Copies of this chain bind each other. A is one copy, B any other.
Amino acid sequence: MSRWEPEARERLVRAALDLFADQGYDRTTVAEIAERAGLTKSTFFRYFPDKREVLAAGQDTLCKLIEEGIATAPTSATPLDAVEAALDAASTAFIPERRDLGKKMYAAIATSSELQERDALKRLELANAMERALENRGFDETTASLAAELGILALKRAQRNWSKSTNSTAFRDIARQSLQELRAANAKLS
């Protein structure tokens, strides 16, 4: 990989989301995305198999961060402590410069059932990654599965709140608050 590649990927994501917002997801072509990003179609296809996969950009990174966060949590960590460590680690992907991307992504998803599907799969894949990481920590399958659902719910809610926020609160603080709210609600589900 050349040292410019990460930048190209991000430019493609930005161009795609802008076009989805301007003219709709269905009417946007890969050629238009590449052109808007100042790149070629074949560069686009080096990063994404099709325009829909732009939505899943960063998914692998996020899975890896979640796994690392859980693997390196203190040995005394409860399941939800481990989830918090995963969210802390994941937060490093949500740098301030990307906050507007989240907003654009939500707007695009709202208008396209194809993107809603891709987003649902993304969520399931993140939950599976978190569940496996928790099992690797020795938590039983039922506990891991439940804690992972709660963790991904916290992550999704944090992403939504972050993309809506108008101040510069760090993603990590928003994610921690989101998890805290769910922990509090969870204690009263009975």
Contacts and interface: CB of A to CB of B under 8 A. Distances in A.
Given A116-B121, A117-B120, A117-B121, A147 B181 contact: no
17 contacts: A78-B189, A79-B189, A81-B190, A117-B120, A120-B120, A120-B123, A123-B124, A142-B185, A143-B185, A143-B189, A146-B153, A146-B186, A146-B189, A147-B189, A149-B149, A149-B150, A150-B189
* Nearest 9 interchain pairs by C-beta: A120-B120, A120-B124, A120-B121, A78-B190, A142-B185, A143-B185, A117-B121, A149-B149, A79-B189
A146 B79 CA distance: 16
Given A116-B121, A117-B120, A143 B188 contact: yes
Copies per complex?
2
Contacts of A185: 140, 142-143, 146
Interface size class of A (residues with CB under 8 A): 20 to 34
Interface in A141-160: 142-143, 145-147, 149-150, 153, 157
Grouping DSSP codes into helix (H, G, I), strand (E, B) and loop, the A interface class, with mixed when no group exceeds half, is: helix
Of A146, A157, A190, the most chain B CB neighbours within 10 A belong to: A146
